[in-house]
Amino acid sequence: MRRLLKYLKPYTKESILGPLFKLTEATFELFVPLVVAAVVTNGIDKGDRAFILKMGALMVALAITGLICAVTAQYFAAKAATGFAAAVREAVFDNIQKRSHSELEKYGTGTLITRITSDINQLQTGVNLFLRLFLRSPFIVFGAVIMAFTVNVKAALIFVVCVPILFVAVFAILIKSIPLYKKVQNSLDDVTVRTRENLTGIRVIRAFNCNDEEKEAFEEKADALKAVQLLAGRVTAIMNPATFLIVNIATLAVLYVGAKEVNTGIIERGAVIALLNYMAQILVELIKLANLIITMTKSVACADRITDMLSDFDNRAEIKKSADEKEGNPFEKINSVEFENVGFMYPNALKEALKDVSFKAKKGEIIGIIGGTGSGKTTLVNLIAGYYLNTGGKIKINERDMKEYADGNCFLNAKEGEQKPYDFAITEILRGNIGIAAQTAVLFSGTVKSNLLWGKKDATKEEMIKALKRAEAYDFVFGKKDGLDTEVTEGGKNFSGGQRQRLSMARAFVKEPEILILDDSTSALDYVTERAVRKGIREIAEDSICFIVSQRAASITDADRIIVLDEGEVVGYDSHERLLRSCDVYREIYKSQFPEEELPKKEEEA
């Protein structure tokens, strides 16, 4: 929680003025029982109507002043809390954006959604209540004890005994409930994950008629959340009855002692009423304090979860900017990409996904990547884009190891076998020169134009049209009345699978990148459309290095060279014709897709 306080620093003024106005309100409130006592003693008992009216006006003035102070305090507290929550949410979102793929996979989407929504909302509520009540409630409790001593010392001793017992009860429940609310938030993660999976996979669920099974699975997660919430609720529910019991016993004691003191003429009836009012104030404030502590318990649990995530990210060594970065963009012109004995292993995997991969691609070349399912094709292009860090060998851009661009500083805290990404600034610059059409075509809600501008923020209409034509998307986009302003719904669901893929490629094409990566991005296209798209790819490849990942041999036959992967190893790297003669794996893949075509004889046979 302490780590998050820096986000409250811009609201220091509000964080001071809020509690200050609350304390001012509380001060006025502490004088009310004394005014009531004076009304009873000097007004009612003596029949002095003018004094009663005068004290009544004073009470109204105290109430109005207190109201103004309370509203002002609420304004400052709300401003500080909402600003703090916005800053934390921005920091968490920025943290998520800078994490590597392996780190995001470690936490999971559901957990990250919960932390940036529910956890931060709970934190905002906690800060708001803290600024309003945390000082006010103890101030009134201790202030009431002190004021009681000004009325009657003997009766005030009851307050001295009562208040410590109350605080012991409250904090005992607090200590017990904090870990329970952490479990509540973890269970909420599970429910969020299940809900998200059901919403995103609703078509698959219905296709396999698994509605009932999914309902049961969701009910199981919801029941687990309910059970831990009930347990936490039962513990915190003890707080109000416990405080009521202690305060009511103390009230009876005050009445007993006060009645004896009145009978002996030591104090007036008004003094007893003042003591009872102070005891009532203590009761009300302790109830508020109890509710505040319950809220703060939840907030602390949420703050710990957020802090753990931020600290986990910030535990890396301080990264110094490389000399190349200071001088400018080191990837403005990319002439070559080279893998030198590159290996990669996913966290907790039993074997490497890539092993001893070596090849070199130069500007103007189209490199095809093919292999069986799970052979490491997507992993290879993910390493080029810096999504993951190679665990062995070197990845060179323009003849220079990628790690050298970041000075290696971001690896200082890496434990053995742990995945650490490149310097975020370096990968951000690198990806600024890479165009990617991913395996799953992802479009964002907005318009066709807004999606194309993801590739190039200042793209002109002519550039967008050119990219659409290269991706064979021009006809269906301008076949709609709004053209580039055609609406794109969430996930691009108002377009077919093939149309989404072509728009995804157009988004990469409009960038005219130094490196173009197409990861099986034509799988939903027919052969005629794909052949036309390949012409557009060839035009872009004249000034870039193009990597095409595909399951279909026909998609890469005209590539300059083809990388053939088998269980993470390169078993062939050559042109289509030469691979047919020299690589058994490639021959097997090609033959399975074109069984009627006669293959050339292998080199040893020739």
Question: Which residue, 588, 592, 568, is CA-closest to 602?
Answer: 588
Of the candidate CATH numbers 3.40.50.300, 1.20.120.160, 3.10.20.30, 3.65.10.10, the domain formed by 434-558 belongs to 3.40.50.300
Find the distance separating the first CA and the last CA of the chain, reported in whole Å: 73
Q: pTM, whole model, 2 decimals?
A: 0.68
Match 């009873």 to its residue by tokens: 40
CATH of domain 323-363+378-429: 3.40.50.300
Q: Which of 327, 310, 320, 309 is nearest to 411 (CA)?
A: 320
Q: How far is CA 328 from CA 23, 118, 430, in A?
A: 55, 41, 12
pLDDT attached to residue 417: 43
The H or E element containing residue 116 is: none
Question: Could you list the mean pLDDT of each consecutive 10-residue stretch along the chain, which spans 606 residues?
Answer: 83 91 87 80 76 85 89 93 93 82 75 85 90 84 82 80 81 77 80 82 84 89 90 81 81 81 75 81 76 79 82 48 49 88 87 92 94 90 86 89 60 41 62 86 91 91 93 92 90 88 93 91 87 90 92 90 93 92 90 84 62
CATH topology agreement for domains 323-363+378-429 and 434-558? yes
Q: Is 558 left (phi over 0), alpha (psi -120 to 50) or beta?
A: alpha
Tokens 């973890």 sit at which residue?
A: 186
Output the CATH code of domain 2-312.
Answer: 1.20.1560.10
Question: Domain residue spans in the chain?
Answer: 2-312, 323-363+378-429, 434-558
177: amino acid identity, one letter: S
Q: Copy the structure tokens of residue 143.
A: 């202030």
- In contact, 496 and 443? CB cutoff 8 Å: no
